[in-house]
Structure 1
Amino acid sequence: MSLFQSLFGTANSKYQNIKAEEFLKIAENTTDAIILDVRTPAEVAGGKLPGSMNIDIFSRSFLANIDKLDKEKTYLVYCRSGNRSGQACNIMAGRGFTKLYNLSGGITGM
């Protein structure tokens, strides 16, 4: 097992990259959906999606905060461009999350 796998787990299930329209549709129609913003607090201060929670992927406590989340819920993950949120989805998938959606193009594509 590599150091990466021991820290982040192995992604047995993948996530889906989705466009803004589908992202919003899932958010509206899925009762257990959680919108997860993985940007920095400075970025969030400039505006965020209503109802989203923020867990900064660059934070030292990112893994500990992710591990507190309910793995059975649906997560709609976003960042500025879709790159960090894709990384977050990979990490979450490796830690047992199975309902993961990454906002392609990030919040700038909304």
Structure 2
Amino acid sequence: MSYQTISADEFAKRIQSDDRPLCVDVRTSAEYAGVRCQGSVNLPLQDLTADQLKEVVLDRALGVDSTVYLICQAGKRSEMAADKICSELTSPVCVVAGGVQALPASVQERGEQNVMSLERQVRIAAGALVLLGVVAGVFVTPWAYALSGFVGAGLVFAGITDTCGMAMVLARMPWNKAA
């Protein structure tokens, strides 16, 4: 089964209606603790299974044919989650285009935490590693330039494939887990 995509504005209209659709946020627990969609459930992408999702549908007393809406920060992780679970679900799956950042403020709720997004963490980590490789290359050994080259190659690979290994590693770090 494949998934559909819905605009953030159309999804917001559905949230504000009486039927209150099931929204599953696939960001890290820490990101979810910051800003999120009203009434959403957090199942981080790195831990997400179709069985977990089926349990949530059952817990919410929804029918097996109820649409499951997936949301993340900007849309990419939701697409990855849909690709991961669609074949194992009987429920229709819909990805919210643009993610939480595209939702109108009227359907967002703020948690108690102010959190740094995973994308920002990746930029900081990649920049720090490149800088470390250059500084170590100048002051320690020219072989250290290889670190900068490795990070650059990783960024090119991430751009071509639209997947990021560093983001997957950072998502599992303790600071990205809810307290």
Residue 81 (1) aligns with residue 74 (2): yes
Q: Classify the secondary structure of the residue corresponding to 1:58.
A: helix
Residue 66 (1) aligns with residue 53 (2): yes
Give the AA of the match of 1:18. Answer: I
Deviation at 1:74, TM superposition (A): 1.4
Q: Give the counterpart of 1:54 among 42, 55, 63.
A: 42
Deviation at 1:56, TM superposition (A): 0.6
The answer to which structure has the higher helix fraction is 2
Offset from partner CA, 1:5-51 (integer Å, 9 cap, x none) = xxxxxxxx211111111112233447362011011011011121111
Q: Give the counterpart of 1:93 among 86, 93, 103.
A: 86
Aligned residue for 1:3? none
Unaligned runs of 5+ in 1: 1-12
Report if the CA contact (8 A) 1:27-1:34 is conserved: no
Q: Give the counterpart of 1:37 among 25, 43, 52.
A: 25
Aligned residue for 1:16? 4
Q: TM-score, structure 1 length as denominator?
A: 0.74
Aligned residue for 1:103? 96
Give the aligned length.
96
Q: TM-score, structure 2 length as denominator?
A: 0.48
Which of the pair has the greater relative contact order for Cα pairs under 8 Å at 6+ separation?
A: 1
Aligned residue for 1:6? none
Unaligned runs of 5+ in 2: 58-63, 104-179
The answer to which structure has the higher strand fraction is 1
Report if the CA contact (8 A) 2:22-2:67 is conserved: yes
Q: Percent identity over the alignment? A: 27
Report if the CA contact (8 A) 1:32-1:73 is conserved: no
Structure number, greater radius of gyration: 2
CA RMSD of aligned residues (A): 1.9
Deviation at 1:67, TM superposition (A): 4.0
Cα distance between partner residues in 2 of 1:75 and 1:30: 16
